[in-house]
Amino acid sequence: MNAPVNLNKLLPTVDQRHLDHLEEEAIFILREVAAAFERPALLFSGGKDSCVVLRLAEKAFKQRVAGNEFKGKLPFPLVHVDTGHNFPEVIAFRDQRAAEMGERLIVAHMDESIRRGTVRLAHPLESRNGHQTVTLLEAIEEHRFDVLIGGARRDEEKARAKERIFSHRDSFGQWQPKEQRPELWNLFNTRIRPGEHFRAFPISNWTELDVWLYLARENIPLPSLYYAHERSIIRRKGLLVPLTEVTPLEPGEQVESATVRFRTVGDMTCTCPVESDAANASDIVAETLTVTVSERGATRMDDRTSDASMERRKKEGYF
């Protein structure tokens, strides 16, 4: 009665019609952003969520020529906060995609914030993930952005689930969860005072499974790190820590070689892979159908410090 089901047989029967609704909603939100704000920008890190938002933006504002080819320009630039500790494969992919699309890419470098003294590290190998807030807010002030489009989803983390689709930030770039604006019947209050801005999340109602179903359906390119590859790892505190120059071996630890993939990509000092043989998006869809831990819970060291770590950072101005 409860015989195991072969996922390869189950996958073709997964109903994907809901993706059309999610896509339509996201495109509507992107067009609302372009209509309501003067200086929008799209956060593009090269990660899977930002790649999905980028494809949705192409569908919203460009003309599809054939297959994955689109004609036209986006009405906003792409923005990335480079911590200096990002995976090289992801940075190379980011630059390649921006060049292929002919879009303007603005990179805010944390190393410049460190040189200015606005970011101070306790030690050279400290995780820079939380410090991105300062560099991001500096970029917002420099370019006078009044809204940033991001790829956050509500299933990522508890604090994400509290966020509105249009998230108001005060003149200090801070998020106040108790002062969020109602969003009834897709009516959005986008009024801001001088110095304030918004974060807009078109795929807020998507799940990790939805993202991978869409990536598979649309054949959207991703960095190779998302698929199975051999990597030297260290088993540390229940996670697989990639061996890099900023995550070196500690006393008493051993280096292993494992077949892994990344569920999310970010700062190398806090992003961990999972063991997997998934070689393409369809394989990952099958894996995602069985997972019981969110991608952040399974792969992010910095989010394990406390249940409120993400909410605290968001209040300070984080993505």
Rg, C-alpha atoms of the chain: 20
Per-residue tokens: 126? 């400290």
From the CB of residue 5, how many other CB atoms can be counted at a distance below 10 Å? 9
Instruction: Quick: pLDDT tens for 16-33.
Output: 889 999 999 999 999 999
Expressed in angstroms, the distance from the first to the final Cα of the chain is 46
Confidence band of 4 (pLDDT split at 50, 70, 90): low
Query: pLDDT by residue (tens digit) across 105-141?
Result: 999 999 999 999 999 988 888 888 888 999 999 999 9
pLDDT at 124: 82
For the cut 60, the answer to whether the pLDDT of residue 303 exceeds it is no
- Measured on CA atoms in the order 108, 110, 112, 117, is the torsion positive or negative? positive
Q: Under a CB-based contact definition with an 8 Å cutoff, are residues 246 and 85 in contact?
A: yes
pLDDT at 319: 60
Full-model pTM: 0.88
Q: In this predicted structure, what is the pLDDT of residue 1?
A: 47
When mean pLDDT is compared across 85-99, 211-225, 289-303, the lowest value belongs to: 289-303
Q: Residue 3 above 60 pLDDT? A: no
Q: What is the 3-state secondary structure (H, E, C) of the chain?
A: CCCCCCHHHHHHHCCCHHHHHHHHHHHHHHHHHHHHCCCEEEECCCCHHHHHHHHHHHHHHCEEEECCEEECCCCCCEEEEECCCECHHHHHHHHHHHHHHCCCEEEEEHHHHHHHCCCCCCCCCCCCCCCHHHHHHHHHHHHCCCEEECCCCCCCCHHHHCCCCEEEECCCCCCCHHHCCCCECCECCCCCCCCCEEEECCCCCCCHHHHHHHHHHHCCCCCHHHCCEEEEEEEECCEEEECECCECCCCCCCEEEEEEECCCCCECCCECCEECCCCCHHHHHHHHCCCCCCHHHHHECHHHCCCCHHHHHHHHCCC
* pLDDT tens column, 236-286: 988 999 999 999 999 999 999 999 999 999 889 889 999 999 999 999 999
Q: Does the structure show a pLDDT above 70 at 304?
A: no
Q: Give the pLDDT confidence of 40-99 residue by residue, as tens digits.
A: 999 999 999 999 999 999 999 999 887 788 999 999 999 999 999 999 999 999 999 999
Q: How confident is the model at residue 149 (pLDDT cuts 50, 70, 90)?
A: very high
How far is Cα of residue 305 from the mean position of the Cα atoms in its chain? 20
Residue 313: which pLDDT band, with cuts at 50, 70 and 90? low
Q: How far apart are CA 25 and CA 175, in angstroms?
A: 24
149-158, 270-279, 294-303: which is most confident: 270-279
| pLDDT recorded at residue 6 | 56
Model confidence over 167-202: pLDDT tens digits? 999 888 888 887 788 888 888 888 988 999 999 999
Six-digit token string for 95 = 């630059």
